[in-house]
Copies of this chain bind each other. A is one copy, B any other.
């Protein structure tokens, strides 16, 4: 059994992530004892977005090309309008998300990040939520969209917006400690 205090967690983002959706999971998962890495498809730093303006630069710990799915116990995808729209256009990012999903380990996406789940085609037939503006995209991708602070379907964890962060982070910790979800069907 994995304890959160010895778990390794990847947070994958690029410029334009909604800042608090990266910094809060990062801080709280670290405080719980996890080893958390900020991963990006670019090197150096990535720029946070705070509601309507560019904000902090966050250090990238590793580039996507340096890591493997087997290195981590869970993958967290922050939102923002810009970050997931950029990431979904990168085939290597989409492949990584799909491969992580297929590993049956906890995969968590908040706000606009479920666009990456759509791009990886992993919402079909599953209960999910997202920021309200992309509900139609989720439904058109075959997802069963629910208006709840956190939705967890076979360790696929989704939340709507920054206000849901406490529930989102609690569910990530719970699912990491439960481990792989053996019932998750993969393509």
> Which residues of chain A have a CB within 8 Å of any CB of chain B?
15-16, 52-54, 81-82, 85-86, 88-89, 112, 115, 118-119, 132-134, 136-137, 140-142
Contact = CB atoms under 8 A, between A and B. Distances in A.
Contact of A137 (B52, B81, B82, B137): B137
Number of copies of this protein chain within its complex: 2
Contacts of A132: 89
A8 B141 CA distance: 37
6 contacts: A88-B136, A89-B132, A89-B133, A115-B137, A118-B136, A136-B141
Nearest to A89: B133
Most chain-B CB neighbours within 10 Å: which of A52, A54, A136, A141?
A: A136
Given A137-B137, A137-B140, A140-B118, A81 B85 contact: yes
Contact of A133 (B15, B53, B85): B85
A14 to B, nearest CB: 12
Nearest to A133: B89
